[in-house]
Amino acid sequence: MCIVQGCIKPPANKSAALCAGHQRRLERSGDVDAARPLRRRAPNGEPLAWLTDKLRVETDDCIIWPFANDRSGRGVVLYRGNYMAPYRAACFEVFGDPPTPEHQTAHSCGNGHLACVNKRHLRWATSKENSEDTVAHGRQVRGERISRALLNREQVIEIRGLLEARQCRQQDLAERYGVSKQLISAIHNRACWAWV
């Protein structure tokens, strides 16, 4: 069985200790988040019926999608003959078609990553507006929150300080931190980690 306490699913493969669901969660976020149960697969039609029912609810609390996710970790529902994110289907249902085909569903609650479908939290937005919301809610995956990040915030600050004080060469810092000279240069020029 999966090593996550309370999970009764088999390991993803013979050499794995985690089931496929917890393994995907670990790869996406760096944590199995054992306290949060995996979402379940539902019979055909049940997710759309659930969504339609929840769109009638009048509340300011988030309404989180309880069903299984697709391979990218997003909730999915069959709506108008197409598979789409449940919050997008909710936006279609509540607000009609988007102003342009490029418009996205945005969340005022900051819980789009949890697939909140509360109609009060949704709206059509441009890609730029949606990105600005992500930053404002602190949900943007950047820096050490990226699972493959080689450096953390403190190291970046230290690197910049050493370079600005001309105490180290970029090549020396690259060797010290085990990264490429190009990354050190990008950090120095604020081409990456610009917000730090």
Of 11-20, 62-71, 91-100, 108-117, the one with minimum mean pLDDT is 62-71
pTM for the full predicted model: 0.57
- Provide the domain limits for residue 178: 146-188
**Whether residues 68 and 121 fall in one domain:** yes
4 falls within a domain: yes
Q: Can you read off the two tokens belonging to residue 77?
A: 């529902």
36 with 7: CB under 8 angstroms?
no
96 falls within a domain: yes
**Whether residues 129 and 51 fall in one domain:** yes
- The count of structural domains within the chain is 3
**Whether residues 75 and 119 fall in one domain:** yes
Beta strand extents in 28-179 (DSSP E only): 77-79, 82-84, 104-107, 122-125
Of 143 and 175, the structure prediction assigns the larger pLDDT to 175
**Whether residues 84 and 115 fall in one domain:** yes
Is the pLDDT at 61 greater than 90? The verdict is yes
**Whether residues 80 and 122 fall in one domain:** yes
Q: What is the pLDDT of residue 40?
A: 60
Contacts of 187 (CB under 8 A, 6+ apart): 151, 156, 159, 160, 193
